[in-house]
Structure 1
């Protein structure tokens, strides 16, 4: 039995050691990488005061926003993802929430095309042949890197068309998940309120990041746009819906379990189990050899004793 079990344990130990080393060395570079195919629809809600040009007053209404962000798999590569993101901000009249082009309830709408590194999540304007009208981006756009740190990151602001500081502000539990909250503050940046209409843009944005995966679980924003003469044009306060946050937390839990299984538990089980199996197999084989060597000697002694 020892002669059979010993080699089996040695083989198992070798297999577990290889699996553990793969989990330690190879797996992080494979799983800590944004998938090539991603399709996400994000829902936000809040309230907005929009300038009524006929009265010069802000008219306040409940609003919702929809952001549809997905990869262009034909353009994406092993190193870089191409993204197409369409979004709208609509007055909420209580009906179905959707983007309706040409509707008087549409406050803003945009299409954004960009590319990001699949590991660092930073914008990449060089690796892919993006359409000619794609605006070059800087910094992070739609996620943080795996293993996010408590520091300041460059973050793309589409209104000003440049990267701004997203500074680590605090750690906060979000439905039982620890998140790093990064704060973006922009004060009276010059922009065009509409084509040919100058004004300023002020915003405070908080982005809740699950640090292991770099996923955005929640986001809030308090934004104002003001005409050059000081007339408020837009006063907006909104964030992810409660249902969106709950969905993000649930999806992220599965991603974290997969990461833990491949980058934490596989190395632990593989390396520890492999060493134990090798040691046990070696001891069994050594014991089997001793028994085999002792057998003939014992028989010889018995024969000599009978003479």
Structure 2
């Protein structure tokens, strides 16, 4: 009787372990592989030593040199996320992002922007949303975001992705280059090349720049080049390191030009270390839920079922069937012969 109970318990536990393994792999796993609603506020810092940059102070335009520090802050907007409707409901999260660039010697503000956008929770790509906006300091304007901006997809692949550039308000391809180890993590390196881009600036501001930097010029444009390199942890899609080699020239229609930006921004060592630490923790959690826990439960379930089968076979071998016993006891009796 006890062996029958043990067999039933082991068989039930084994089946239950297999059910939980399947649930983790096919139900819980896909839900974990996406941006959470309760994301914590994060900051990344990049510096550009020996930079050439334009600075406007009290209406006066000057081209200066020095070290620049860029700080980008990402904050989830839970209220806006909760108000998403239609196809975005449950699929997207709303982030509010701000950047400030200061010169490190005086801490004076050089440039800033803020923006709100909706991101796909799985791919990290921007989604169409009628309430997205961009404010570069002059006024808040509508913007049509697309492609990757602040994050790559969960399960990033070795292929080309489209990264949105805020200066040209368009996407350009970022090509997979190689795998590189950073802070003990294997990362995918992607490079985006922007050449001859045109930065959109308000007409009145452009006239101020031309009037002070290229006197006599009546029209022109800002020509923008950037080599953007991102190192991505592929499981989480998080940026571990970012470098941007930016160049901007104010070009008058007469052909005259002035370099107004020449800077290479690179994540600071502290930012790289903290980014790697967050990505490592998130990757371990994802791997436990989506890989190791399902495998462990599946193996445990199969072992329990195998033990139950072995116990059942042994019990059957120890006890002969009633028919066999009856056959043995009713066999032919020896025949007596007369002497």
Q: Does 215-224 or 280-289 show the bigger shift?
A: 280-289
Matched with 1:44 is 46
- Cα root mean square deviation, aligned: 2.8
* Bigger Rg, structure 1 or 2: 2
Gaps of 5+ in 2: 82-88, 134-139, 208-220, 332-339
Describe the superposition over 1:92-151 as per-residue Cα deviations: whole angstroms up to 9, x where unpaired: 128xxxxxxxx7x1111000111111112221114x654694422011111111111111
Matched with 2:287 is 260
Cα distance, 1:28 vs. partner? 2.9
Q: Residues 196-215 of structure 1: matches in 2 within 5 Å?
A: 196-197=206-207, 198-215=221-238
Greater RCO between the two (CA within 8 Å, min separation 6)?
A: 1
Q: Does 54-63 or 150-159 show the bigger shift?
A: 54-63
Closer, same or farther in 2 for the Cα pair 1:262/1:56, shift >3 Å? closer
**Normalising by the residue count of structure 2, what TM-score does the alignment of the two structures yield?**
0.78
1:80 aligned onto 2:92: yes
**How far apart in 1 are the matches of 2:90 and 2:62?**
51
1:15 aligned onto 2:16: yes
Closer, same or farther in 2 for the Cα pair 1:53/1:240, shift >3 Å? closer
1:63 aligned onto 2:68: yes
Cα distance, 1:298 vs. partner? 7.3
**How far apart in 1 are the matches of 2:317 and 2:4?**
11
Of 110, 115, 135, 2:118 maps to 115
Cα distance, 1:192 vs. partner? 4.0
Matched with 1:276 is 303
Cα distance, 1:57 vs. partner? 7.4
Matched with 1:225 is 248
**What secondary structure, in the 3-state scheme, does the structure 2 residue paired with 1:196 have?**
helix
Cα distance, 1:83 vs. partner? 1.1
Closer, same or farther in 2 for the Cα pair 1:130/1:187, shift >3 Å? closer
Closer, same or farther in 2 for the Cα pair 1:215/1:52, shift >3 Å? closer
Gaps of 5+ in 1: 95-102
**Normalising by the residue count of structure 1, what TM-score does the alignment of the two structures yield?**
0.86
Q: Residues 231-246 of structure 1: matches in 2 within 5 Å?
A: 231-246=258-273
**What secondary structure, in the 3-state scheme, does the structure 2 residue paired with 1:283 have?**
helix
Cα distance, 1:177 vs. partner? 1.0
Q: Does 18-27 or 51-60 show the bigger shift?
A: 51-60
Q: Residues 166-205 of structure 1: matches in 2 within 5 Å?
A: 166-192=174-200, 195-197=205-207, 198-205=221-228
**What secondary structure, in the 3-state scheme, does the structure 2 residue paired with 1:75 have?**
helix
Closer, same or farther in 2 for the Cα pair 1:49/1:129, shift >3 Å? closer
Cα distance, 1:286 vs. partner? 3.6
**How far apart in 1 are the matches of 2:142 and 2:3?**
68
